[in-house]
Each structure stands twice: as C-alpha cells, then as structure tokens.
Amino acid sequence: MNNFLIVLRKEYMTIVGKKSFIIMTFLTPVLMILLGAVPALLGVFAKDTSDKEVIIVDQTGKYYDAIKDGEAEGFHFMDGSADISEYKSQALSSDSLYAVVVITKDLLEDPRAITIYSTATIPPALQDNLSKTLSRELQQEKIASYQIPELDKIIADSKVSVNISTVQWSADGEEVAASATVGMITGQIFNFALYFFVIMYGSMVMESVRVEKKNRIMEILATSVKPTTLLWAKIVGIGLVGITQLLMWGLFFVIVFVALQSLLLSSVTFDMNQFKDAVMAAQEGGYDAELAGSLEALANINYGQIIFCFLCYFITSYVSFAALYAASGAVTDAEEGVNQITLPITILLVFGFIFGFYSAENPNTNISLITSFIPFMAPNVMMVRLPFNPPAWQVWLSISIMIAFTCFFVWFAAKIFRVGMLMYGKKPTMKELWRWIKYE
C-alpha cells in the first residue's frame, strides 16, 4: 500500500507541479470561450462593407425600382442602359465597377433571364439580396394578376405560425416542460467532454509508461513495486489529475455564471427555476416565449442524475482505456510503435463519440438502445440519452455492464503490462501477446 501511494503521489505531482499544467488549466476555459466567440466576431468584422457599384441593366423596365429599394449594405445599385460590351470594357480597365446585372426578359415567364457579370467571384450576399428582392416583387406581381381585391392582405392574414410546447410525463405522472433542442445540446456537451477527457488522460498514462520504459526507470520500479500495483497507481494518479482539472474548470464556470447574473440580472441564484424567473422579469415589455420555454426545459433537467452518471461513466471509461493505453505503452518503447498499437483503441473511442453524436437526434431508437449496452459506446450514447429520461433499468444495466467490462479490461491489460514492462527489442506479435495473457 505504501508503494502504491508513493507511485501515485509521484504521478500526480509530476503533472500538477508543472507550470504548463497550471497555465493550461486556466487557459483552456478561456480558449473554449474564444473558440465559440471568434467565429461570431469574424462574421461581424470580416464583412466587406465597402461601397460596391453594381449596374442594373433592366431591358424589361420592370424591376430596377424594386432592386433599388431593396439595396443591401455595401452595394450601390445604378440604372444602366448602355450596351453590355461597354460595361465589360469598363470593368476590365478599372476597379470602379463591381458587377453588372442584366435582365433580358419578364422573370415570371423566364426565371432564368437574369445574369450577373463580374471580373471576380461574386459573393453570396449580392446574389441572395437580388434573389429575395425579386422574389418578393414577382410574388406581388403574380398576386396582382389574379385581380382579386386585397388578395395580398388575405394571403398575409392566412399565414399563421404555431408555437408548440412539449410536455413530458414523468414516472409518477407529473407534467414537466421539455425541449428536444435543449436535451440534444446538453447531451452533446457531456458526450464531447467524456470523449475529450478520456482520450486526453488515457494518453497521459500511456506516455508515462512509455517514457519510463524507454529510460529504463521501469526496471528500477519493478524491483520494489508489483506490476499490478504500479499499473493501478498510474491510472489513479493521473485520474486524480483529471478530477483536479475538472474541479478547477467547474469553479471557473461557476464564477462566470455568478458574474453574469450579477451584471445582467442584479441577483445571484443557483436554482434554475429562480434563474428562469429572473430572466423573464428582466425582459422589457414581457419575455420571449421561446427563450422562456428553453429555460424552463433547462431547469427541468435532472442534473443530479446526469452528473452522477457522468462520473460513473467517466471513471469506468477512463480506467478501461487508461489500462489499455498503459498496456500499449508497455509493449514497446518506440513512439511510432505505440501509435500503431493505440490506433485501434483510439478508433473505438471515436466510434463511441460518433454513435453518441447521432443518438442525440434519435435517443430511443433500437440502435441507440443496443449501443447503450456495448462497453466502448455505452458511456457516450447514454450521456446523450440521459436528458431525455430513459428508463432507470437501462441506466443501471448500462453502468453495471461498464463496471464488469472495466474489471475485465484492467485484468487483460495487467497481463500484458506485467510482461511488457520489462521486455525490450522488437514489437511482440499477436501470438506472443496471447502467450503473455496466459502466463500465470
């Protein structure tokens, strides 16, 4: 037990004591926020707002006024009546003319009788603007052709939007608000987190074993620590590193959550129902129904069950893959060889993530149910199903299967680890690995 704690402390402090660990622990949430914010900022600041001159050559004389009235930001439409060849020469000789739009026929009779000419690739913004503007104009023209008084108003009044609310019956018959979108997003967050953390910390275990074997440190450790004890100490030590980071990241997001409430709502609460009421009260002139529905659905998610199950699946999945990664690191000390051996393990992780990703849209199909009990896929699939409240027996059966197979994977990996940690030279064949597993 003493040797176990010594190795565990060494593995934990080797990583946590590094400045890079502390820096990346604090930088990772910031980078994740920037990852979501930067595309939005680029969409705002990367727009080309310079004034671009576009000549409209409307040979029908019907559409220029509508196009001019629907002028988009960054485009300046001008009426043109000259021959197209003159505009072609002007565009080729200078940069003042951006594009020429030529309408040759009535667009109701021939919708393809419009062409955009330019010396450069036309951005979608110009084409979309013209398409929307002319579609509205043609719609009004078509309506007028029926010669029915106030037909446009009748059509406008007939357009009715439906706001469908979804209510889920709980096991005791209680009605609670639900949202498929909120459930999907919540499940996908946990699916990605599980995949990211398992592959990150599992790779740390593999790298630790590979480096110690390459530097012959493993031979020294083997004289005083049993192989199984060494394997468990590495898995638990790096697992504690992961828990440390998770706690620090959780604290960071709690601080951000509290700060945003203080700034925007002038109140702080961790009760989702009170948070929803505070958001509603802050809305000027009432609140948006869709936002309120999403917040209510968010408040009705059983976070206690989800967090408990996430910890269960994280521990079992991490221990399983960390053991397999450790065995891979013990098989060979060459980095290239380790990458080849761990590729199938990584592919299994990717399969679990992919099945989880697609199960979010259809959480109750047969394929989602079956994969909920397959060890390599169960954690990811069940995490995206939990916000949709699957039957309790499915959750407990899935966790039980994961615990049983985790014990098997650790036993399997320990058999390879205890022999491979002291083997040097060429990479073993599958026949030799099978022989290692059968050693008593």
Is 396 contained in some domain? yes
151 & 289 share domain = no
239 & 321 share domain = yes
184 & 148 share domain = no
Place of tokens 């073993």: 428
96 & 189 share domain = no
**pLDDT digit string, tens, across residues 357-416:** 888 777 878 888 888 898 888 898 988 888 887 888 888 999 999 999 998 888 888 887
**pLDDT digit string, tens, across residues 135-173:** 888 888 888 877 788 777 777 777 777 665 566 565 555
Distance CA 78, CA 97 (A): 11
* Number of domains forming the structure of the chain: 2
Q: Tell me what pLDDT residue 175 has.
A: 53
**Domain termination site, one of 122, 155, 188:** 155
Domain that holds residue 151: 52-155
150 & 191 share domain = no
The percent of residues above 90 in pLDDT, for the chain, comes to 2
For the domain that residue 66 is a member of, what is the CATH number?
3.40.190.10
280 & 406 share domain = yes
193 & 112 share domain = no
93 & 227 share domain = no
**pLDDT digit string, tens, across residues 51-70:** 677 888 888 888 888 887 77
Is 26 contained in some domain? no
Distance CA 211, CA 14 (A): 13
What values do phi and psi take at 74, rounded to 5? 95, -10
188 & 150 share domain = no
Is 33 contained in some domain? no
- Please provide the DSSP assignment of 382-438 as one string: HHHHGGG---HHHHHHHHHHHHHHHHHHHHHHHHHHHHHTT--SSPPPHHHHHHHHH
What values do phi and psi take at 99, rounded to 5? -160, 160
205 & 114 share domain = no
Distance CA 240, CA 318 (A): 11
- Give pairs for 251-257: CB < 8 Å, separation 24+: 252/26, 252/29, 253/29
291 & 185 share domain = yes
391 & 291 share domain = yes
